[in-house]
Amino acid sequence: KNQVEQSPQSLIILEGKNCTLQCNYTVSPFSNLRWYKQDTGRGPVSLTIMTFSENTKSNGRYTATLDADTKQSSLHITASQLSDSASYICVVSDRGSTLGRLYFGRGTQLTVWP
């Protein structure tokens, strides 16, 4: 069964600290993996996208890594800011259909405290 599992479910860190969010998936065949940031009451916004051949992708203070062999990805946030408080969603796309179906994780709820 194609699934996307994220950990931890929630995380609280102090402003200025770093953190790493995890994503494990069983989606096959694999096309790409995205990390989205979803602020409370808003729609998700894409942070990074990686295909099979890409191991790492950065977007400012966000760095995503992908290990396609172990089917794991991580999102590292450096020098966290209060505005980083949000849900971070891992999304994996397959190549099994013309739709390029997306499998969503439940997200990690990150709270940054001052």
Q: How far is the CB of 101 from other proteins (least distance, A)?
A: 8
Selected from 16, 42, 58, 79, the binder of other proteins by CB under 8 A is 42
Q: How far is the CB of 106 from other proteins (least distance, A)?
A: 5
* Cβ neighbours of 13 (radius 10 Å): 16
* Nearest-angstrom CA–CA distance, 103 and 97: 13
Per-residue mark of binding to other proteins, 7-36 (x: CB under 8 A): ------------------------xx-x--
Q: In which residue are the tokens 């929630």 written?
A: 10
Nearer to other proteins, 18 or 46 (CB): 46
Q: Verify binding: residue 51, other proteins, rule CB under 8 A.
A: yes
Distances (CA, A) of 53 to 35, 83, 84, 89, 111: 16, 31, 28, 21, 32
